[in-house]
Amino acid sequence: MPGIPVIAIDGPSGSGKGVVAERVAKALGFHLLDSGALYRVLGLAAHLKNLNLEQDQALAELARTLDIGFGENGPDSVSLDGRDVSLDIRSALGSDMASRVGAIPAAREALFERQLLFRQAPGLVADGRDMGTFVFPDAVVKIFLTASVEERAKRRYKQLIAKGIDAILPALLRDLKERDARDSERAVSPLQPAPDATILDTTEMSEETVVARVLELVKAGLPNL
């Protein structure tokens, strides 16, 4: 499906890329890939099945056959085997399991194929860690959103509380630092900006400003849109 434009939005947890990607996709009428949700559902499924993460072939098989649904139980909902897991995948356990399975090459390879299927006309906004570097290296626009770890922890805290999920700020900060380290230091697809990505530090930027800036970059990359 090359030829169908992809906007890659990468960055660490809490950088705001999820919300920004969603708003940009809506503004452009493009499809949306929340690749983190795939890792989260895989992590949750592995946990529910009590899978030993060292059995990487079993994990890859699980990744290939997972029954994941997006939007089946309302907008933004995510389901596993038809059950709504939108809240479970955002829990501390869901986040931790996602970054554990994300460090396993066989799991990444299995999810790679599934991610490519999201590239459909008229275009795709893909949000994750390695969208611009690995999954869609030919993305027409690549953006790397970042923010200080303290600011990201605060944002995640507000998001969770708004969803009715209990959260403790210092624990979130510690978890984010741990996940940042694991995501950046892993051997496969470590979290890093593509050489041709535009880096936006959003620590001092409002969501509104970030979305407007991303849409400007899209316009520059896709003048005929």
Q: Of 16, 22, 40, 144, which lies in the binding site for ligand C5P, with binding defined by CB under 6 A?
A: 40
Q: Using the rule CB under 6 A, which residue among 5, 102, 123, 132 binds ligand C5P?
A: 102
d(CA 137, CA 193): 11
Q: Is 128 in the site for ligand C5P (CB under 6 A)?
A: yes
Across the chain, the runs of DSSP E, i.e. the strands, are 6-10, 31-34, 68-70, 78-80, 83-84, 124-128, 141-146, 198-201
Please answer whether residues 10 and 125 qualify as being in contact, where contact means their C-beta atoms are separated by less than 8 angstroms: no
At its nearest, how many Å lie between ligand C5P and the CB of residue 67? 19
Number of residues that bind ligand C5P (CB under 6 A): 14
- What is d(CA 20, CA 153) in angstroms, rounded to the nearest whole number? 17
- Binding window for ligand C5P (CB under 6 A); candidates: 34-42, 78-86, 137-145, 215-223: 34-42
Taking CB under 6 A as the rule, which mask of x and - marks residues 8-27 in contact with ligand C5P? -----x--------------
Find out whether 211 and 200 touch, Cβ atoms under 8 Å. no
Rounded least distance, CB 36 to ligand C5P, Å: 2
C-alpha atoms less than 13 angstroms from C-alpha of 130 in its C-beta half-sphere:
19
From 47-55, 69-77, 91-99, 143-151, span contacting ligand C5P (CB under 6 A): 91-99
In Å, what is the CA distance from 46 to each residue of 54, 69, 102? 11, 17, 12
Q: Is 98 in the site for ligand C5P (CB under 6 A)?
A: yes
Tokens of 131: 């969208």
- Is residue 5 within the footprint of ligand C5P (CB under 6 A)? no
Exposure b/e, 16-35, CB count within 10 A at least 16 = b: bbbebbbbbbeebebbbbbb
Instruction: Give me the 49-88 binding string for ligand C5P, x by CB under 6 A, dash otherwise.
Output: ----------------------------------------
Residue numbers at the binding site for ligand C5P (CB under 6 A) = 13, 35-36, 39-40, 95, 98-99, 102, 128-130, 179, 183
